[in-house]
Structure 1
Amino acid sequence: MSALLPSPDAGMITRHSSPEQKGRRWRMSGVFAVSILLLYPLDLFMLGQPSPATLAVRVLWSGEMLLYTWLVMRLEERWLPLMLRIHTAIMSALFMSIVAFTGGMDSPYMTLVPSMPLLMALIRPGDTKPAIVCGATCAVAAMAIVVGTKGSALNALAWAGMVTSSTFFGVYGSSQFRKAQAAENEARVERERRESMEKLTKAERHRAQSEKLATVGRLAASVMHEINNPLAFVGSNLEYLRTEVLAQPLREELRQEFQEVFDETSTGMERIRQIVTDLKGFSRMDVEEPCECVLVDVVSDAARLAGVRLKHVAKLTVEIPAELPEVFATRRRLAQVILNLLVNAGDALEEAGVQRGEVRVTGMAEGEKVTLLVEDNGPGFPPEVLPRLFESFFTTKGPEKGTGLGLSLSREMVERFGGRLTAENRTGGGARLRLELPVQRTPLPPGEDPPVVQRGASPRGEGA
């Protein structure tokens, strides 16, 4: 049984170890030394009488363990492997001495001899030499015990063969364990490297996006200042002209025509002011927190900006039912996603040279989610492009038109809202982007009616 007591891993003890580590190792060595002595009654039980020889061996073994612990705490680290092999040889010899003093071939401990190298290989899986030293010591001692008890040479060789075989399997198993551990560590390092690269790529994307938004913000602020000042003069002059012209005696048809011209000009000026405001708002979206969003208003914001790009490319149709439930998202981020999808649709139609291009935005409620479809009547996605559509830096556009980050960032933003963004080709031709967002369920207090939401855009309309 004493062979089953593992030796403390003294290779971890150095003179540079902390006092806490040294104290812990001393306690382990003390427990091991005391355990060796406490097994002496087992020797008495097997022999039926006191055995000064086994007691002396056990005392010597306990002292050797404490001496070994004391030495390795004071030696330089380069001496520790040699000390461990010497300690293993002494420990194996002392165990075989107990076997010899408790009956030799008839000792119950004899059956444990082949397990000694295996046990050492388990204790020190990263170092095969202690197991080899233990196996060699036990093999020689086993042959000596067999010959000393007048056993045959063949029997002695058989015992030596068993110990040698167990040593081989222990060393081989330890070697395979090290290889498996090295492969696992290599796989872990590679996995961590890939994760680090992914995090670095995401961080770079976010940095590029932040810089882009900051640039847009600074540009929008300058543009707003440069445009709003002359726009104020134009607005004042327009109102003056409206008042003066309409005050003149005019035919009713001409008066109505002038009225329409003034109204259209005022609408155009307001649109210019709103576009600049939206650009500045998009540049500051990082400071906004997610909240309940009315999808009609979000799509209206995106459609207003996309109309500038699609005006001479396609007809934009928006069909969003007014009764759609609210979704939980950052409004301007969601508007940016929709704007990106609309602009991509316009780019595809323009590149394909589609005449009478159409882009349609449709909203619908499907169970616990709201689905938004962005469709066009273009050529659709090529089969080889569709699987890679949302990969970072993958683009079919020229370097002056895209970086390959738009759809990747759009999907990432949608997933942050708990939604999903997918792409497919329409059965009748053209591309379809499907944006799914979970419904925001906010329980109302008992007896309170749902609030009336004021919408800033028509739920159903068309843009140029």
Structure 2
Amino acid sequence: MSTVFAASILLLYPLDLLMLGQPSLATLAVRAAWCVEMLLYTWMLMNLEDRWLPLMLRLHTGLMSSLFMGIVYFTGGTGSPYMTLVPSMPLLISLIRPGDTKPAIVCGVTCALWTLGIVWRAEGPVLSALAWAGMVGASTFFGVYGSSQFRKTQAAEEEARVERERRESMETLTKAERHRAQSEKLATVGRLAASVMHEINNPLAFVGSNLEYLRTEVLAQPLPEELRREFQEVFDETRTGMERIRQIVADLKGFSRMDAEEPSECALADVVSDAARLAGVRLKHVAKLTVEIPAELPEVFATRRRLAQVLLNLLVNAGDALEEAKVQGGEVRVTGVVQGDKVTLLVEDNGPGFPAEVLPRLFESFFTTKGPEKGTGLGLSLSREMVERFGGRLTAENRPEGGARLRLELPVHKPRSVPETENPSPSGRGTG
């Protein structure tokens, strides 16, 4: 950069010719000296020790200002067009070196003394000389003041940046600590689940066997048709409830052991059917459940049982929200659409929707708006984790027309194409 500036000093010599109307060896000599000074200063910057650099900068500023004033003197003094640029020199130095006020002061003092001398030599009035020196002094003051204010602003911005980074680091650390605590809680839940699996499965098997026995015996009796249908409905609902308990126990076992069945191709219509059947018991007296899943919906690659558990959690949560809000004519709708290379399931209700302060924390572990008897705050967190394992995404939002909407997106399963191989000729069969 300094080399380019040095070259430009010499290239501006034709301006001197236009001002003077004739060649001037004096201005050429000054410009050549200025060019040499710039190159020498550049060399010193690269070779001197750092402790000498501030002194060299001030010396360079003084020499540069003197050489500029020499060009002003040899191109007409007070009548030179360059004379109008003299007050701007300290401002220019302040802009170039905003972090250091001393070069601007050196430039201002040098230019002020040269201005006094040039005006005095031209036999101008003393007041005129003092006015020119005053303008240079004023520009020096404003340059130094602006430079100091710039440094203060820069220091304040740096301090604010450091404080902002410190707060962000503290927030990151707090989130990490919270995540660690939540992970420990989840591990505790897993260990607890593993320890009670056996205790729940055994009595559940007894209850299931006894229920089937009672169902067979009761329905074998000669009963009025209306009473028989009522008993049949009660037994079916009880069996569905037991199946749900068994499903939850199996899921908890999978969470605790972390050895869930391998994902495979599955049709979302079957998954939604499983979840809707289990959720029907909860939604029966709360809302009307509508399922709109096209038969041609592409398959996804996931674990059918886990995906059904996710949908069951979403449907049960919708039922709880409608019941808590006492919505008359509650509706829960499950729809499926294809959007590009993704399959989207929407679980919507016509309830009050999510409060603004709840929506950002909806998927946090152990966060719940339900009472301790209804929820632990793990359902949505585990649901999102399961969906993400299948390469999908689970998000929540409020519908424009009112109510909540859970959006479950999964990539369309694309089976690997098996390359065709040429069938070799049967061995032992020759030609000819």
TM-score after normalising by structure 2: 0.62
The correspondence of residues 235-384 of structure 1 with structure 2, limited to 5 A, is 238=209, 253-254=220-221, 271-282=244-255, 294-299=267-272, 310=282, 314=286, 317=289, 319-323=291-295, 325-326=297-298, 338-348=311-321, 360-365=332-337, 370=344, 372-375=346-349, 380-381=351-352
Q: Which amino acid aligns with 1:222?
A: S
In structure 2, the CA distance between the partners of 1:199 and 1:330, relative to structure 1 (3 Å rule), is farther
- Following the alignment from structure 2 to structure 1, what is the Cα–Cα distance between the partners of residues 82 and 261? 75
In the TM superposition, what is the alpha-carbon distance from 1:366 to its structure 2 partner?
8.3
CA distance in structure 2 between the aligned counterparts of 1:252 and 1:53, rounded to whole angstroms: 122
Match of 2:121 among 145, 148, 165: 148
1:133 is matched with which residue: 84, 102, 106? 106
- Flag the 1:195–1:101 CA change in 2: closer, same or farther, 3 A: same
Q: Distance in 1 between matches of 2:242 and 2:309?
A: 23
The CA deviation at 1:277 is: 1.8
Kept in 1: contact 2:98–2:147 (CA 8 A) = yes
Q: Distance in 1 between matches of 2:299 and 2:161?
A: 40
Aligned to 1:422: 397
1:113 aligns with 2:90: no
- Tell me how far apart the structure 1 counterparts of residues 6 and 201 of structure 2 sit (CA, whole Å): 90
- Is 1:89 aligned to residue 62 of structure 2? yes
**2:392–2:411 contact (8 Å) kept in structure 1:** no
Task: Tell me: CA distance 1:354–1:67, structure 2 relative to 1, closer, same or farther (3 Å).
Answer: closer
Q: Is the 8 A contact 1:99 1:109 kept in 2?
A: yes
Q: In structure 2, what is the Cα distance between the partners aligned to 1:338 and 1:70?
A: 72
CA contact 2:78–2:119 (8 Å) conserved in 1: yes
Q: Distance in 2 between matches of 1:84 and 1:60?
A: 12
Aligned equivalent of 1:49: 25
Mapped to 1, the partners of 2:235 and 2:313 lie a distance apart of 33
The answer to whether the 8 Å contact 1:135/1:163 transfers is yes
Gap change, CA 1:224 and 1:112, over 3 Å in 2: same
- Are 2:363 and 1:388 equivalent residues in the alignment? no
CA distance in 2, matches of 1:289, 1:158: 90
Among 41, 50, 61, the residue aligned to 1:73: 50
Shift of residue 387, structure 1, vs aligned partner? 2.2
Check conservation: 2:240, 2:278, Cα contact below 8 A. no
Name the counterpart of 1:452.
none
Q: Is the 8 A contact 1:216 1:280 kept in 2?
A: no
Letter in 2 for 1:131: A
Cα contact 1:44–1:51 (8 A) shared by 2? no
Query: For each residue in 1:289-326, what CA deviation from the matched residue of structure 2 results, as whole angstroms up to 9, or x when unmatched?
Result: 99976444444565677679x48985784634352624
Task: Report the CA distance shift for 1:163/1:131 in structure 2 as closer, same or farther (over 3 A).
Answer: same
Q: Secondary structure at the match of 2:360?
A: coil
Cα 1:107–1:264, aligned 2, differ >3 Å: closer, same or farther? closer
Aligned identity (percent) is 57
Unaligned runs of 5+ in 1: 7-30, 446-464
What SS does structure 2 have at the residue aligned with 1:88?
helix
Report deviation, 1:100.
Answer: 3.6
For the structure 1 residues 112 and 175, does the alpha-carbon distance in structure 2 shift closer, same or farther, using more than 3 Å as the test?
same
Unaligned ranges ≥5, structure 2: 18-22, 418-432
1:144 positional shift: 1.3
* C-alpha deviation, 1:154, in angstroms: 3.6
Could you list the per-position Cα deviations for residues 164-204 of structure 1 after superposition, in whole angstroms to 9, with x for gaps in the alignment? 34334534554564466556556655665666566556645
Q: Secondary structure at the match of 1:391?
A: helix
CA RMSD after TM alignment = 5.7
Which amino acid counterpart does residue 220 of structure 2 have in structure 1? E
Question: Which residue number in structure 2 is paired with residue 223 of structure 1?
Answer: 196
Q: How many residue pairs end up in the alignment?
A: 393
Amino acid at match of 1:167: T
Aligned counterparts of 1:57 and 1:215: Cα–Cα separation in 2: 78
Residue-by-residue CA offset, 1:251-299 (whole Å, 9 max, x unaligned): 9934999xx8999998776554433222234567899999976444444
Moved more, 336-345 or 112-121: 336-345
Supply the AA of the counterpart residue of 1:389: V
Distance (Å, rounded) in 2 between the aligned partners of 1:66 and 1:402: 75
1:423 Cα deviation after fit: 2.6
Counterparts in 2 of 1:115 and 1:401: CA distance versus 1, 3 Å: farther
What TM-score does the superposition give when structure 1 sets the normalisation length? 0.59
For residue 166 of structure 1, what is the amino acid of its counterpart?
S
Cα distance in 1 for residues equivalent to 2:302 and 2:347: 19
Paired amino acid for 1:433? R
One-letter amino acid matched to 1:435? R
1:305–1:116: structure 2 CA closer, same or farther, 3 Å change rule?
A: farther
For residue 390 of structure 1, report the CA deviation from its aligned partner: 0.7
Cα distance in 2, alignment partners of residues 42 and 67 from structure 1: 26
Q: Distance in 1 between matches of 2:25 and 2:38?
A: 21
Name the CA shift for 1:352/1:95 in 2 (closer, same or farther; >3 Å).
Answer: closer
Q: Secondary structure at the match of 1:39?
A: helix
Q: Distance in 1 between matches of 2:178 and 2:260?
A: 18
Alignment of 1:171-182 (within 5 A): 171-175=144-148, 177-178=150-151, 181=154
Q: Which has the higher contact order (CA 8 A, sep 6+)?
A: 1
Partners in 2 of 1:407 and 1:267 — Cα distance? 23
Choose which of 10, 17, 31 in structure 2 pairs with 1:39.
Answer: 10
Alignment of 1:433 with 2:405, yes or no, is yes
Query: Residue 373 of structure 1 aligns to which amino acid in structure 2?
Result: V
- Cα distance in 2 for residues equivalent to 1:375 and 1:188: 45
